[in-house]
Amino acid sequence: MTDTTTASSDRNASDRQMLGITLILASNVIMALGDALIKYVSADLTIWQIFVVRSVFALCCLGAYAYWKRGPIAPRQYGWVLVRSLFLVLTWLSFYASLPVLNLSLAAVVIYTNVIFTTLLSAVLFKERVSVKQWLGVLSGFIGVAIILRPGTDSFSWFVLMPLAGALCYSLASLVTRHKCQGERALTLAASLHVSFIITGALATLLIAGIGVTDTVRDFSYFLFGSWTPLTLNAWGIMALLGLLSASFSLGVARAYQIAPSQIIATFDYSYLVFAAVWGFLFFAEIPSVTTVIGMAVITLAGILVSGRTKPRA
């Protein structure tokens, strides 16, 4: 009986692990597609308009899911949930602001350095023990970043600092989630994030309209400083699709990390880099350079090395 129970438990664990891997792969396909669509509409719409309209559709999807699950949606700790949401808004603001200029695959690989920042901040802020393997991963990650960015050469662009700042903000959001929001439901965190997107987009729009942006500034980055434009039927369809994709991604990733070991899911999370390159090629005929591919491989290796669980120091 004991052997039968153990075998059944092992099968269940294996099934949950495979389901978690499937969820993270599907979620990354969805996320990369959403980011490609945002890059696609960035020439016609402002980031603030996208924030508001997309998140309204996402909240409708999340509301329908909450009604189906019949569960509470209000946060247990409003303060920390708000802090987490603000860090994530800054993450996507930094990342999306770079898309009109950078290739999708390049911006993606830069923002995926977040695992390096997370390891460093965990050791400094929360005194978590970092193994030698993880420190080697951190070093490899910085080497990968240097290969891609090539600072000091003509190939370097200051715009790559935007997704790099986004990676830092994402790491801070991850630490807040791990240490302060573990008791919150995934649905609650997703809904709070999209409410924050709507508030941020609305306030930024009012601020830009109030201060009166000059044509020079608007021409420099219409995506950041332009005014809202009437949406065509095609644009409404894209916004609705973005809302559905965003709601699905946020729930899928949360569920993947709940049902399978975090080290395994974190490793497969790097599949986003592949999917971003695929969508970048299909949408914009982008072909990553040789140095970008090499840097991507080094950063992926770094992520695998540092994705092991860290332990608090005694």
For residues 5 and 1, give the distance between their C-alpha atoms in angstroms, rounded to a whole number: 6
- Residue 99: how many other CB atoms lie within 10 Å: 22
User: For residue 313, what pLDDT is reported?
Assistant: 41
Which residue type is seen at 295?
G
Nearest to 35 by CA among 221, 225, 286, 231: 286
User: For residue 266, what pLDDT is reported?
Assistant: 67
User: For residue 240, what pLDDT is reported?
Assistant: 95
User: For residue 156, what pLDDT is reported?
Assistant: 62
User: For residue 312, what pLDDT is reported?
Assistant: 42
Measured in degrees and rounded to the nearest 5, phi and psi for residue 88 equal -70, -35
- What pTM, to 2 d.p., does this model score? 0.82
Could you report the average pLDDT of every consecutive run of 10 residues in the chain (314 residues)?
58 77 89 92 90 95 85 81 92 91 84 78 76 78 74 64 90 83 83 94 92 76 86 92 91 76 69 86 85 78 66 42
Provide the 3-class DSSP secondary structure of residue 312: strand
Residue the block writes with tokens 């946020």: 250
User: For residue 274, what pLDDT is reported?
Assistant: 83
For residues 35 and 97, give the distance between their C-alpha atoms in angstroms, rounded to a whole number: 11
Residue the block writes with tokens 């960015």: 149
